[in-house]
Structure 1
Amino acid sequence: MSLLEHYAVQLDQLKQQGNYRQFTENRQHGQYIEIAGQQMLNLSSNDYLGLAAEVSLREQFFAQYPVAECYLTSSSSRLLTGNFPEYADLEHSLSQAFAGRAALLFNSGYHMNVGILPAVADSKTLILADKLVHASMIDGIRLSAAKYVRYRHNDLQHLQSLLEKYHDDAEIDRIIVVTESIFSMDGDETDLTALVAIKRQFAKVMLYVDEAHAIGVRGERGLGCAEQHQCIEEIDFLVGTFGKAIASVGGYLLCDPIIKAYLINSMRPLIFSTALPPVNIAWTKFIFEHMQGLTAERQHLAQTSHYLQQQVLARGYDSPSTTHIVPIVIGASDQAVAKAKDLQQHGFYVMPVRPPTVPKNAARLRVSLTAHTQQDALEALVQWL
């Protein structure tokens, strides 16, 4: 037992701090989630367009996808025998949508971010990363041989000063600026137009932008903030995930064909992982093409998001959101947990987010809206804040 005692002590400390986590079994029915017999409005899902909950879409997909071709495993990496036609079909669909750029698929957003950065960044690379980038990007940076500096969150003046400081260093061949377009915990966003303008001033700079929370919900066709700001071709590594608004699984990269070829030859998680099941890839293509026409759903989501943002601020809470992710900053972890439980008792499934996911004393409730969320439900929610 002495070998386990260390871990038991750590778990006790997490419980005392209000930061202990555990899995909760649930069943989902459209907009609602059922836990221990209680049904609540699900305000914690990343199904931003509500597509994962639409049974009719699954029925339509399987009606046109022959069972004989419905492989539930690829049984191999793509470089061995796992490169089914579905992969090329989805990459072609992505390339057509994103201004003809080369597309490459990955098993997940995390798999993607911990693999690309170590592959493209060597000891003569400097990575400048936004302070609040996702854990997967932080881990990818740590796994790389690059030097790295984190600039203040969304402070592009600070970024500019760092670029001016390091750009002419003879020891640095390239600088990769790493950011998210929409940040998952604060619900705010990067000014991509300004970021691209900064990039144009420095010959060594490449941009790495994660659109995980923007794909599907921003831009005329739902292609993300890069489409919204008309800068798809200006971003060297335009990455995102299918596990949120696209209602599937996996990640993607849009890039120059040289980068795609280089990653196929150098990215260890890509080379040494069994590829996703072909049926998942076919489903992703089906949903990706369907979601591009959901303009009304994106407009509704924007309207309800703005309403909730204003209501949260009006009740005296801090919330930096400009998107469909609306944090309600509480402060102490135990208070955030208690508030979440209170809302759940009133029929709203809202989860607390605590350190280390967010900074100490910045625990919050993270309300995640979907295109199915109606304003009258949010009016009922804010009465209990």
Structure 2
Amino acid sequence: MDRKYQAELERLAQSDMLRSLKVTRAEGTYIYMDGRRMLNLSSNDYLGIATRGDLAQEVEAELHRLGGAGSTSSRLMTGNYEEYQRLEDLLAERFAREAALVFGSGYHMNVGIVPALADSSTIILADRLVHASMIDGIRLSSCRFERFRHNDLAHLERLLNKYTEAERIIVMVESVYSMDGDCADLKGLVALKERYPSVMLYVDEAHAIGVFGDTGLGLAEATGTIQQIDLLLGTFGKALAGMGGYLICSDVVKRYLVNRCRSLIFSTALPPLTIAYDRLAFEALPRYTVERQRLKASSEHLRQRLGEWGLQTPSQTHIIPIVIGGAQQTVQLAERLQALGYYALAVRPPTVPERSCRLRLSLTAEIDLADFERDFAPLVAELVATQHQ
């Protein structure tokens, strides 16, 4: 039986598509792997909270207060500890919305919500570049769906007009796209939603929470659209350096999901200490103004430098992809960077479409890019020369 799987693994290796798990150790902004010390350009610790260990003393105090570490059951059995209520109340208060619901991870959230809310009469319209977890949730819902061209609201509106008789249409986007680093037009999406009463707007802020907005509540805060987004999702596992996902919604939707969302009902709850940490990190978000500004400045600077070197990137944010094309060339460039002491990953299908393999640079507020710019410039010159041959 294993021969079939082994043959597929060999095929992946021959096409430079094979993935493997590697043991890593973090030390500040550096990562240790295979005996190398490299500047970590692949981290989601956008504000540097994990890098600096900001909340270590507070977490230690919570550990003494809470005692045990395990949750022992699902939330609907005995796992709905007081810490969940405190965190969800805080989320609802900060976002000034009726309710919040915490999930075990962003993946649990995206694969569970749509199948619970959708039925056979529901139409789903999703941006072509939404995350794999959102696509998996759509597929599990078994309802009709179409994908509109990336960030193309005119195309989305044509599809909305196609389904004017639909009782419910769920429009799904990310506020910051994880592979292209560009942003959704949330104001434009809200304007469309207000013209089409059957639309529910579903926005995943996984890569925006903590980074955007005066108090770090994401791109929805920065664009003044929090109140108009029906389903506003985010994660604790990136800028907040925690674990889990959250949904901001109406009280009715929350109570419905508690009864119908399988990824919530049939999953073990997060441990109370994890939830306590998430609350501490979320409470602290407003005070990270300097880190947000520093991250914004370094991201803008690197995007500008790439343009000066002749490389174009779709990025508008701290996620900066350099699209190479083929897998082999992308892997080779990533390996050369790693040999120079910079950990930047080659992103290949199925994460991105065929012939759009890329280096994905993920910046944090703590990274100093001076050495990287010096060492990367010669590689860029080679790359640009190759692309123009």
**Same fold at TM > 0.5:** yes
Match of 1:380 among 369, 374, 377: 374
Q: Are the structure 2 counterparts of residues 301 and 68 from structure 1 closer, same or farther at C-alpha, using a change threshold of 3 Å?
A: closer
* Mapped pair 1:4 → 2:17: no
Runs of 4+ in 1 over 6 A off after TM superposition: none
Kept in 2, the 8 Å contact 1:308–1:378? The answer is no
- Tell me which residue corresponds to 2:25: 27
Q: Are the structure 2 counterparts of residues 372 and 314 from structure 1 closer, same or farther at C-alpha, using a change threshold of 3 Å?
A: same
Kept in 1, the 8 Å contact 2:69–2:271? The answer is yes
Which one-letter code corresponds to 1:159 in the other structure? L
- Tell me which residue corresponds to 1:97: 94
- Tell me which residue corresponds to 1:58: 56
Q: Are the structure 2 counterparts of residues 249 and 35 from structure 1 closer, same or farther at C-alpha, using a change threshold of 3 Å?
A: same
Cα offset, 1:17, TM superposition: 1.2
Identity %, equivalent residues: 52
- Tell me which residue corresponds to 2:47: 49
SS in structure 2 at match of 1:150: strand
Kept in 1, the 8 Å contact 2:31–2:39? The answer is yes
TM-score w.r.t. length of structure 1: 0.96
Q: 1:311-330 counterparts in 2 under 5 A?
A: 311-330=305-324
Cα offset, 1:376, TM superposition: 1.9
- Tell me which residue corresponds to 2:108: 111
- Cα displacement string for residues 311-369 of structure 1 (whole angstroms, at most 9, x for unaligned residues): 22222333100000000111100100000010111111101000111111110000000
> Using the alignment, how far apart are the partners of 2:330 and 2:208 within structure 1?
26
Match of 2:152 among 135, 152, 155: 155
SS in structure 1 at match of 2:178: coil
SS in structure 2 at match of 1:188: coil
Which one-letter code corresponds to 1:192 in the other structure? L
> Using the alignment, how far apart are the partners of 2:375 and 2:111 within structure 1?
37
* Mapped pair 1:227 → 2:227: no
- Tell me which residue corresponds to 1:335: 329
SS in structure 2 at match of 1:112: helix
- Tell me which residue corresponds to 2:293: 299
- Tell me which residue corresponds to 2:198: 204
Cα offset, 1:123, TM superposition: 0.4
> Using the alignment, how far apart are the partners of 2:228 and 2:375 within structure 1?
41
TM-score w.r.t. length of structure 2: 0.95
Unmatched 5+ residue regions in structure 1?
none
- Tell me which residue corresponds to 1:215: 209
> Using the alignment, how far apart are the partners of 1:159 and 1:381 within structure 2?
42
Kept in 2, the 8 Å contact 1:311–1:382? The answer is no
SS in structure 2 at match of 1:95: helix
> Using the alignment, how far apart are the partners of 1:338 and 1:349 within structure 2?
13
Hey, which of these two has a bigger chunk of helix by percent? 2
Q: Are the structure 2 counterparts of residues 151 and 66 from structure 1 closer, same or farther at C-alpha, using a change threshold of 3 Å?
A: closer
Kept in 1, the 8 Å contact 2:326–2:357? The answer is yes
> Using the alignment, how far apart are the partners of 1:381 and 1:191 within structure 2?
35
> Using the alignment, how far apart are the partners of 2:188 and 2:256 within structure 1?
29
SS in structure 2 at match of 1:79: helix
- Tell me which residue corresponds to 2:338: 344
> Using the alignment, how far apart are the partners of 1:289 and 1:355 within structure 2?
37
Cα offset, 1:59, TM superposition: 2.4
Cα offset, 1:156, TM superposition: 0.7
Kept in 2, the 8 Å contact 1:348–1:381? The answer is no
Cα offset, 1:380, TM superposition: 2.8
Which one-letter code corresponds to 2:103 in the other structure? F
Match of 2:364 among 363, 370, 384: 370
SS in structure 1 at match of 2:151: coil
- Tell me which residue corresponds to 1:74: 71
Q: 1:132-281 counterparts in 2 under 5 A?
A: 132-167=129-164, 169=165, 172-281=166-275
Structure 1 residues 74-83 or 374-383, which shifts more?
374-383
* Mapped pair 1:122 → 2:119: yes
SS in structure 1 at match of 2:208: coil
SS in structure 1 at match of 2:76: coil
Q: Are the structure 2 counterparts of residues 376 and 125 from structure 1 closer, same or farther at C-alpha, using a change threshold of 3 Å?
A: same
Cα offset, 1:53, TM superposition: 1.6
Unmatched 5+ residue regions in structure 2?
381-389
> Using the alignment, how far apart are the partners of 1:85 and 1:30 within structure 2?
33
SS in structure 2 at match of 1:136: helix
- Cα displacement string for residues 233-255 of structure 1 (whole angstroms, at most 9, x for unaligned residues): 10111001111001000000000
Cα offset, 1:378, TM superposition: 4.2
SS in structure 2 at match of 1:200: helix
Which one-letter code corresponds to 1:173 in the other structure? E
Which one-letter code corresponds to 2:17 in the other structure? N
Aligned pairs, how many? 379
Kept in 1, the 8 Å contact 2:55–2:280? The answer is no
- Tell me which residue corresponds to 1:37: 35
Kept in 1, the 8 Å contact 2:74–2:266? The answer is yes
Kept in 2, the 8 Å contact 1:128–1:178? The answer is yes
